[in-house]
């Protein structure tokens, strides 16, 4: 079943304060993604992989075209009202950015709990579940009540993952989820992604390691074919 559809999507950046420089990044994207697929976005650095994910999340605005999500009805995130996008992000699409961005002073355990609270899934079993997930991701108990802002890069990335993986999303957008992890943590995260796929979650992931792609992904989308020819 079709869950995501891009129609004639173009993305350029106009840098008004840098002499109106136009960066044409992606052009004429037409594609469909089905429920349960695990898509890898590939292409060289700067090609627009993160831009692609951010457009799907409503964080970047396509310069033209439609980005449709099929839930019960169709919703085009490129022209939806703010509260509709917020709602989609709350229940339907989870996004793990390359870098953790959280409020200062909020403890790790609360950051992870918050996802469940937002989804109205927080109940008496939740804390056990959250602690289990954090332990599996090798975030030690002594860190649970601290803000992750002073954690190491790899630890922050694991908190970032925990914050999204605890939730019950239909779609996950993952921007280099294993980039700053050691081999042990990498394989733990890969197993978690696999178990999401077993639950028919649709995943779009940026991951440079070909071995990992072969292990989890059902399809690769090479963004090279969407490079505008005037570049």
Ligand X SMILES: Nc1ncnc2c1ncn2[C@@H]1O[C@H](COP(=O)(O)OP(=O)(O)OP(=O)(O)O)[C@@H](O)[C@H]1O
Examine residue 177 and tell whether it contacts another protein (CB under 8 A): no
Asked if 59 touches another protein (CB under 8 A), the answer is yes
- Rounded to a whole number of angstroms, the minimum distance from the CB of residue 160 to ligand X is 16
Stretch that binds ligand X, among 42-50, 72-80, 153-161, 196-204 (CB under 6 A): 42-50
Q: Considering the rule CB under 5 A, would residue 50 count as an interface residue with Mg ion?
A: yes
Map residue 3 onto helix, strand or coil: strand
User: Which helix H or strand E contains 127, and what residues bound it?
Assistant: helix 126-136
Position 48 contacts ligand X (CB under 6 A): yes
Could you tell me the two tokens for 217?
């992904």
Sheet holding 93-96, edge to edge: 93-96, 171-175, 202-206, 38-42, 219-222
Residue of 17, 18, 45, 231 that binds ligand X (CB under 6 A) = 45
25 contributes a contact to ligand X by CB under 6 A: yes
User: Rounded to the nearest whole angstrom, what is the least distance from the CB of residue 160 to another protein in the complex?
Assistant: 15
Q: Does 51 bind ligand X (CB under 6 A)?
A: yes
The residue (of 50 and 156) whose beta carbon lies closer to Mg ion is 50
Written as six digits, the tokens of 184 are 């042990």
Q: Are 106 and 89 in contact (CB under 8 A)?
A: no
- 97-126 as b/e: b if 16+ CB within 10 A: bbebebeeeeebbbbbbbbbeeeeebeeeb
Closest CB to another protein among 76 and 187?
76
Region of 216 on the Ramachandran plot (φ > 0 left; ψ -120 to 50 alpha; else beta) = alpha
Q: Binding marks (x or -) toward Mg ion, 78..117, rule CB under 5 A? A: ----------------------------------------
Counting residues that bind ligand X (by CB under 6 A) gives 10
Out of 86, 152, 210, 222, point to the residue binding another protein (CB under 8 A). Answer: 86
The structure tokens listed for 55 are 């457009």
Question: Cα–Cα distances in Å, from 14 out to 23, 44, 63, 92?
Answer: 6, 22, 10, 31
Contact status, residue 70 vs residue 5, Cβ threshold 8 Å:
yes
Q: Which residue lies nearer to Mg ion by CB, 50 or 185?
A: 50
Residue ranges that bind ligand X, judged by CB under 6 A: 13, 23, 25, 45-51
**Residues in touch with another protein (CB under 8 A):** 13-17, 54, 58-61, 81-87, 103-105
């Amino acid at each position: 079943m079709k869950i995501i559809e891009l129609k004639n999507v173009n993305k350029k950046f106009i840098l008004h304060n840098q002499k109106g420089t136009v960066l044409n990044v992606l052009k004429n994207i037409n594609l469909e993604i089905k429920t349960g697929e695990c898509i890898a976005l590939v292409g060289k650095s700067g090609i627009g992989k993160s831009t692609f994910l951010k457009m799907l999340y409503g964080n970047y605005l396509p310069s033209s075209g439609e980005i449709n999500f099929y839930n019960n009805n169709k919703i085009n995130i490129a022209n939806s009202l703010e509260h509709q996008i917020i709602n989609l992000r709350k229940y339907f699409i989870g996004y793990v950015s390359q870098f953790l961005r959280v409020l200062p002073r909020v403890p790790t355990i609360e950051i992870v709990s918050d996802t469940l609270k937002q989804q109205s899934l927080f109940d008496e079993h939740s804390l056990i579940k959250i602690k289990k997930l954090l332990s599996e991701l090798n975030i030690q108990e002594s860190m649970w009540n601290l803000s992750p802002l002073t954690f190491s890069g790899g630890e922050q990335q694991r908190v970032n993952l925990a914050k999204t993986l605890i939730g019950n999303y239909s779609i996950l957008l993952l921007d280099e989820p294993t980039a700053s992890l050691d081999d042990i943590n990498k394989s733990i995260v890969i197993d978690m992604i696999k178990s999401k796929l077993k639950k028919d979650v649709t995943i779009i992931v940026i991951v440079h390691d070909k071995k990992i792609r072969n292990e989890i992904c059902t399809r690769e989308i090479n963004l090279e074919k969407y490079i505008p020819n005037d570049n």
